[in-house]
Amino acid sequence: MKMILAVLVTVSTALLTLPANSDAQAPPKAPIFTIAGHTGEAQLLQVDGKSYIEIETLALLTQGTLSFKTNRTILTLPSSGSEVQEPAPPVKVGFSTAFIQAGIEEMSLIREWRIAIVNAVESNSPASIDWIAGRQRLTDKNLALASAAVSTDDDRSAYPLLTAEFNSMQKLSDAYLAKRKQAAFISPDTFNNGPLEEQILSCARGFVVMAQSHEFQDQPACH
Residue 55 CB contacts under 8 Å (≥ 6 apart), including other chains: 66, 73, 75
Architecture of domain 97-222: Up-down Bundle (1.20)
Sign of the alpha-carbon torsion through 161, 221, 135, 175 = positive
Q: Can you point out the beta strands (E) in 41-115? A: 42-43, 45-47, 50-52, 65-69, 72-76
Pick the more confident residue, 199 or 34. Answer: 199
Nearest to 191 by CA among 139, 121, 116: 121
Asked if pLDDT for residue 79 goes beyond 80, the answer is: no
Q: What integer pLDDT is reported at residue 100 of this predicted model?
A: 95
pLDDT-derived band of residue 87, with 50, 70 and 90 as boundaries? low
Provide, rounded to the nearest whole percent, the portion of the chain with pLDDT above 70. Answer: 74
Q: What is the pTM of this model?
A: 0.59
pLDDT-derived band of residue 50, with 50, 70 and 90 as boundaries? confident
pLDDT tens digit sequence for 1-25: 444 333 333 434 443 444 545 455 5
Contacts from 157-163 at CB under 8 Å and sequence distance 24+? 157/216, 157/218, 158/95, 158/99, 158/103, 158/207, 158/210, 158/216, 159/99, 160/222, 161/203, 161/206, 161/207, 161/218, 161/219, 161/222, 162/103, 162/106, 162/107, 162/207
Domain definitions of the chain by residue range: 30-73, 97-222
pLDDT tens digit sequence for 121-134: 888 888 888 999 99
